[in-house]
């Protein structure tokens, strides 16, 4: 949700507009514990140093023994996740839009895992900005929902590959 105080709106023409005022945004029914639980799975699958990462699974799917259709389906799923992460978010600054990946990495490594000092500073800055805070979490949650959809597909693909081999 988002609210504005002392709101002023200016129509700039051609579908563009400017607004000024104090904005506050937040996510209703926000459960950080649920997000924390999913983030463990997300990190496992996306950090290349884990043996179960998508990067390492791609090596298995690229093997000569893998059925070509399974390999193509895996690569399509992995590309879909990367396309989602590399797409423009709904949040922009003068220089342009933040990518979804930027927002995910700031929240994940700067806010939840606290493993990157620079991203942690950005996360703190965004978190204290009442307009930015809710919007960043909405983008993050949407990205994690899409990641979950793709991870579920990959799990089903893995199960089908294993069932075919037995």
Residue ranges per structural domain of the chain: 31-165
CB 142 within 8 A of CB 58: no
Question: What does the pLDDT average to over 147-157?
Answer: 96
**Nearest C-alpha neighbor of 143 from the set 87, 59, 68:** 87
pLDDT over threshold 90, residue 132:
no
Give residue 143's pLDDT. Answer: 94
Contacts of 39 by beta carbon, 8 Å cutoff, 6+ apart: 108, 112, 113, 144
What DSSP designation does 110 have?
I
Structural element, H or E, at residue 28 = none
Which burial class, exposed, middle or buried, applies to 89 when counting CB atoms under 10 A from its CB (0-12, 13-18, 19+)? buried
- The band of 38, judged by pLDDT with boundaries at 50, 70 and 90, is confident
Lowest mean pLDDT among 24-38, 65-79, 135-149, 151-165: 24-38
pLDDT over threshold 90, residue 35:
no
- In three-state secondary structure terms, 31 is coil
pLDDT over threshold 80, residue 135:
yes
pLDDT over threshold 60, residue 26:
no
Give residue 163's pLDDT. Answer: 92
- Identify the residue with better confidence: 123 or 165: 123
DSSP character string of 37-74: HHHHHHHHHH-TTSTTSHHHHHHHHTSTTS-HHHHHHH
Packed helices 54-61 and 130-165: angle between N→C axes, nearest 10 degrees:
30
Angle subtended at Cα 151 by Cα 34 and Cα 69, rounded to the nearest 5 degrees:
175
């Amino acid at each position: 949700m988002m609210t504005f105080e002392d709101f002023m709106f200016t129509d700039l023409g051609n579908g563009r507009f400017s607004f000024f005022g104090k904005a506050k945004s937040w996510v209703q029914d926000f459960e950080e514990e649920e997000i924390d639980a999913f983030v463990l799975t997300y990190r496992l699958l996306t950090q290349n140093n884990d043996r179960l990462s998508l990067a390492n699974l791609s090596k298995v799917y690229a093997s000569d023994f893998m059925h070509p259709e399974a390999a193509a389906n895996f690569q399509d799923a992995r590309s879909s996740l990367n396309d989602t992460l590399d797409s423009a978010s709904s949040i922009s600054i003068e220089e342009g839009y933040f990518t979804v990946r930027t927002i995910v990495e700031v929240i994940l490594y700067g806010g939840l895992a606290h493993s990157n000092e620079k991203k942690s500073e950005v996360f703190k800055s965004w978190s204290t900005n009442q307009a930015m805070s809710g919007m960043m979490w909405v983008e993050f949650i949407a990205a994690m929902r899409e990641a979950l959809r793709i991870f579920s597909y990959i799990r089903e693909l893995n199960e089908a590959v294993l069932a075919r081999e037995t």
